[in-house]
Structure 1
Amino acid sequence: DVAYTRQPVRLIGHHAGITLGFYGTSHHATEDLAITRSIAGLTVIAPADTAALAAALRASVDHPGPVYFRIGRGRDPDVYPAGTTLEIGKAVEHGTGSDLTLIATGSMVHPALEAAAALTADGYSVGVLDMHTVKPLDEAAVLKAARGSRLLMTVEEHNVLGGLGGAVAELISEHGVPVRLHRHGIRDQYSLIGPPTHLYRHYRLDAAGVETEAREALLA
């Protein structure tokens, strides 16, 4: 309704992904990025932390049309300092990597940065893109990474179908960029029930899991 009429409404989906843990599968939201991406005229933003959310809200004041903000439960580790700024539709680049670029969104930015640090310490060249705006995707940043890295790996607390991984796959295939892409997230299944920390570990969505997934992808 709000997208069709281009209303400047701000929608906030909180406790997204698997953050509700024990509340169960019916309370987990691992499909919302795919759904909202498909709504014409709707901007989709998944901030990494509190400071990024505040920055995104400020950036949206004069943004035309509706915006969907995807946030967690308010316990995400800090990535950015208070007062940080961001531009809607422009990814934040945390270094570049000739071996691997991790393209993460929302709650997965912090574990992606930790995984990148561990891989870098082991001799790999790794960069990270905070793709806070899932729609419109920062195409220039993705294509730059695709042409400069031998592997891209998207990381999202979401089904691997239709979300950030789908957006990146669509872009690089349309531009014919010969780069490997590994989509990391929940593999097209309903999530289990349990403490969020256990679920992140189970689905390799914590720092150690992202690192392991990346190592396996690099060696594949």
Structure 2
Amino acid sequence: MTKMIATRDAYGEALKELGRINKDVVVLDADLSGSTKTAVFKKEYPERFFNVGIAEQNLMGTAAGLATAGKLPFASTFAMFASGRAFEIIRNSICYPNLNVKIAATHAGITVGEDGATHQALEDISLMRSLPNMVVLSPADGVEAKQCIYKAAEHNGPVYIRLGRSKIPVIFDENYKFEIGKGVELKKGNDIALIATGIMLEKALVAAEELSKEGISARVINISTIKPIDEDIIIKAAKETKGIVTVEEHSIIGGLGSAVTEVVSENAPTYVERIGTMDVFGESGDGNELLEKYGLNVKNIIDKSKKILSK
């Protein structure tokens, strides 16, 4: 049976380990530590944990202040509130002075499920990657999530890490090595390139297997760093295949799909089909059922691939 773990759970465990090896690590939360899993750190290092209450702008401002004092702050809340409500503080108090603040935002995407549209951040990648100095990470599973946290801690400057609520399949083993700014080719193929991020990587891998049964060779690329994006791996895919399908649990506007099309339009024009939410809000429901309703599924990846190959 496939091991399942939520990326937010991996975040909590990574924080605990970071706290042990680096005494400058501090963690801030906006009254959601049980959900964001920062409570794991709080239990081990209560003197380095700060609950600012339901005040996300203060969360970011306080984290910025701690960074100026030489601390390594991780600020957490739900992605909707981190990227939306606190945007101006992130822009002017963290990114503008290029402070060493890590924003670990949980409950991103449509799979927040029953909490509904008000809590389903489908625009956060777009918002965060528009900010100068900001690195944007979107891990595909628990293994990669832990490594993203460790690498974010090593990086000097603002980092936004996108984490999910739901348990998802573990794709990578402990030998996997994540690097900021590097995509990874997980499956070779020269007919079509499937470029995915976050929880949609697993579905891209399944789609590639299904396509292979029909004689279609699909390359699968994991882009866990949305910014700075790995242009080389995208350009190579554009030149060596007949087209690209991007797959993300985010709006097609401003997310991975937009980032990939920006790269190929300037360097190696090719057919691109984008899978994500189509300029709509989400709704309340079971996370897996919502993925199906909004076309974030294996069937749509296969259909979009065949659409390109039929041109």
**Shorter-chain TM-score tier:** over 0.9
CA displacement at 1:83 relative to structure 2: 5.2
Q: Give, in angstroms, the shift of residue 11 of structure 1.
A: 0.5
Q: Gaps (5+ residues) in structure 2?
A: 1-92
Within the alignment, does 1:30 sit opposite 2:122 as a pair? yes
Which residues of 2 match residues 4-43 of structure 1 at below 5 A? 4-43=96-135
- What is aligned with 1:149? 241
Aligned pair partner of 1:62 in 154, 158, 171: 154
Q: Which has the larger radius of gyration?
A: 2
Q: Is the 8 A contact 2:252 2:279 kept in 1?
A: yes
TM-score, with structure 1 as normaliser = 0.94
Q: Provide the secondary structure at the position in 1 that maps to 2:169.
A: coil
Distance in 2, matches of 1:83 and 1:55, equals 11
Q: Structure 2 residue aligned with 1:179, among 259, 270, 273?
A: 270
Residue 102 of structure 1 aligns to a residue whose secondary structure is strand
2:215 corresponds in structure 1 to: 123
Give the secondary-structure state (helix, strand or coil) at the position aligned to 2:94.
coil
Distance 2:112 2:269 in 1: 38
Task: Give how far 1:74 is off.
Answer: 4.5
- 1:19 and 1:74 mapped to 2: Cα distance? 7
1:149-177 Cα shifts (integer Å, max 9, x gaps): 111011010110111111111111112x2
Aligned to 2:290: 199
Name the SS for the 1:106 alignment partner: coil
Cα displacement (A) at 1:57: 1.5
Gap change, CA 1:202 and 1:215, over 3 Å in 2: farther
State the identity as a percent.
37
Shift of 1:204: 2.0
- After TM superposition, the runs of 4+ consecutive aligned structure 1 residues lying more than 6 A away are none
Q: Which stretches in structure 1 are left out of the alignment for 5+ residues?
A: none
Structure 2 CA distance for aligned equivalents of residues 104 and 163 of structure 1: 11
Count of residues in correspondence between the two structures: 219
- Stretch deviating more after TM superposition (145-154 or 204-213): 204-213
Retained in 2: the 8 A contact 1:50–1:74?
Answer: no
Partner of 2:173, secondary structure, is coil
User: What are the superposed Cα offsets for residues 10-48 of structure 1, whole Å, 9 maximum, x if unpaired?
Assistant: 101111011211111101110001000101000000000
Q: CA deviation at 1:85?
A: 1.7
Cα-Cα RMSD: 1.4
What is the TM-score with the length of structure 2 in the denominator?
A: 0.68
